[in-house]
Each structure stands twice: as C-alpha cells, then as structure tokens.
Amino acid sequence: MPGTTTPAGFLRLAEDIAREAGDMLLAKRPSMSTRSADIETKSSPTDVVTVLDRASEQLIRERILAVRPGDRILGEEEGDRPGETDVRWVVDPIDGTVNFLYGLPDWAVSIAVEVRGRVVAGVVNVAPRGEVFTAALDEGAWLGGERLRCDPAPPLGQALVATGFAYGAARRAVQAEVLTGVLPRVRDIRRGGSCAVDLCSVALGRVDAYYERGVNYWDYAAGGLVAAEAGARVGGLHGGPCGAEMALCAPPGLFEELHDLLAALDPARDS
Ligand code: IPD
Ligand code: CA
Ligand code: CA
Ligand code: CA
C-alpha cells in the first residue's frame, strides 16, 4: 500500500480501520433490553467486557493484517501478536466499555501505530459523537479537518480536571483518597469514562487537564499523541513517562501545577 510507511500513511490506514470498527459498533450497540446479555467480567466485578469489544478487536486485527501481515499487534482483549517488522499497532477496541453498555456517548475505538517503539500515528474515533480525532508525529492533531491547538491553560484553581478510576476496589479506595485532595483545589472534576476521550478533550479544550492512575498502554497510546500534537504535555510523575503509575495531561504551566499537587498527595510516593 503506497505511503503506508510514513506517519501520514499509517494514519490513513488506522483511520479507515477505526471508522469501520466504530460503524460496526454503532450498528450493533446494546439497547436497554440487551444490556445484560453477552457480558463477562475480567479483573474485578466492575471490569466488564462485551462480545462487541472482542468483535471490534477481531475486525481491527483482520484489517491490519490484510494490508501489513508482518506487523505486531497489542490489543486489550487478545494481547500480543508477534511479528517481524518494526511496526506495532496498539488497539483498544472500545475504550469506555461501561459507557458503551449504558448508552452514554463517551466511548471510542482507539488505534495507535508505533514504529521502533515510538507512536507515530493515532486515531480516536468517538463514534457516538461522530468525532474522529487524529494525530501524526510532528505533523499535528486534528478533529475532522480542524487542526487542534490547546488553549493556554488557566491556573489550577480554575481548571476543569478529568480523571478516571482503575478497576478494583483496593485501588479505587486509594484513588478516592487522592481525589479528596484534588477536588477542593480545582474548578471541578469530571469522570468521563474513557481515557482516550479524556486525552482528546484536553486537546480540544473541553477539559483543562486529565490525570489517572492504573491506565494501560492501549488506553492512552493514541489519545496521548493527539494531546501532545495539540501542544499539551503528556507524562507521569517526577519527569517519568505517562504510564500505569500516572497518566497526566495538561497544557504547559497547568501540567506542572497539577503534577506538584498529585506528587504531594500520591500515597505511593514513599513506597
Ligand atoms: C477504561 C476507561 C476508563 C478508565 C479505565 C480504563 P476500558 O478502559 O479508559 O475511563 O478509567 O482505567 O480501563 O476498560 O473501558 O477499555
Ligand atoms: Ca476493558
Ligand atoms: Ca481502555
Ligand atoms: Ca477497552
């Protein structure tokens, strides 16, 4: 496929696939009466997966491998597929499964493309909103045809901050504790229910910042590139990378303010 080895070429392929998966999910999404069918739980009773998470990942894998049979794929539902190229696709077939299940509009198909360990292209298809966020490394981030550039951030006290909670009661108890330290210091908190959408919301200015502990790579690989290419900082604690310990995203200035607050509140800081 011509152009597929450039970030823009990977992006075109990833976008086509994410759109097809999003259309399939919209057509087959559960109604109130079918909500309880075909659900299983994974790491905890709150960690659900539906047959459509699996169907979406299968479709995405088939489409990738039809064009690039030697690439590696990491997906939430089927894990790692080895390959012989230096390209790896990172797939969250539905980010925001609980929203998907309840008919709430913040869920997305998230696909990132890594070359030699670096994300060069990312797509977050927020299908129920008809919004497709895209980004290519060093080339920018877009919502549809519109180039995204983060607004200058307000100070922390006026910032609308999105967050999320990893599955598992023990972790959530700690996250709730941290939240009680954040809430009085910001404009307000939002819990959108999709890490990928939250990161794109920072790029768009729908929220000012986002933080979460316990995310997985497939949650933030594509959305992180969208936010970074829009001018936001994306990282972890103490100069570390965005990852399971902390995913933090905000325009410069606010990033540092929120970082310092979280670092001070983080109960794991001395462990
Ligand atoms: C979840 C969502 C949620 C976040 C969780 C993720 P899933 O992904 O991104 O917003 O708080 O940490 O696991 O399970 O819906 O793909
Ligand atoms: Ca999941
Ligand atoms: Ca996810
Ligand atoms: Ca998922």
User: Is residue 53 within 6 Å of ligand 1 at its C-beta?
Assistant: no
CA 5 vs CA 100, 141, 225: distances in Å: 33, 19, 18
Q: Whose CA is nearest to atom 5 of ligand 1?
A: 166
The two three-digit tokens of residue 222, written as one number: 């594509």
What is the pLDDT, as a whole number, of residue 271?
Answer: 40
- pLDDT tens across 47-97, in order? 778 899 999 999 999 999 999 999 999 999 999 999 999 999 999 999 999
- pLDDT tens across 7-48, in order? 999 999 999 999 999 999 999 987 765 666 567 888 877 777
What is the pLDDT, as a whole number, of residue 247?
Answer: 97
Cα of 79 from ligand 3 centre, angstroms: 13
Fold exhibited by the domain 7-147: Fructose-1,6-Bisphosphatase; Chain A, domain 1 (3.30.540)
User: Is residue 219 within 6 Å of ligand 1 at its C-beta?
Assistant: yes
What is the pLDDT, as a whole number, of residue 34?
Answer: 63
Residue 270 has pLDDT above 80, yes or no: no
Q: Give me the CATH code for the 156-265 domain, please.
A: 3.40.190.80
Average pLDDT of 236-249?
96
CB 164 within 8 A of CB 212: yes
Q: What single DSSP character describes residue 150?
A: P
Give the pTM: 0.95
Choose the residue to mutate in 77, 111, 194 for probing ligand 1, maximizing ligand atoms within 8 Å of C-beta: 194
Average pLDDT of 159-178?
92
User: Is residue 164 within 6 Å of ligand 1 at its C-beta?
Assistant: yes
Cα of 45 from ligand 4 centre, angstroms: 15
Partners of 242 in the β-ladder: none
Q: Whose CA is nearest to atom 11 of ligand 1?
A: 164
What number is the ipTM of this complex?
Answer: 0.97
Partners of 146 in the β-ladder: 143
The residue extents of the domains of the chain are 7-147, 156-265
- pLDDT tens across 194-223, in order? 999 999 999 999 999 999 999 999 999 999
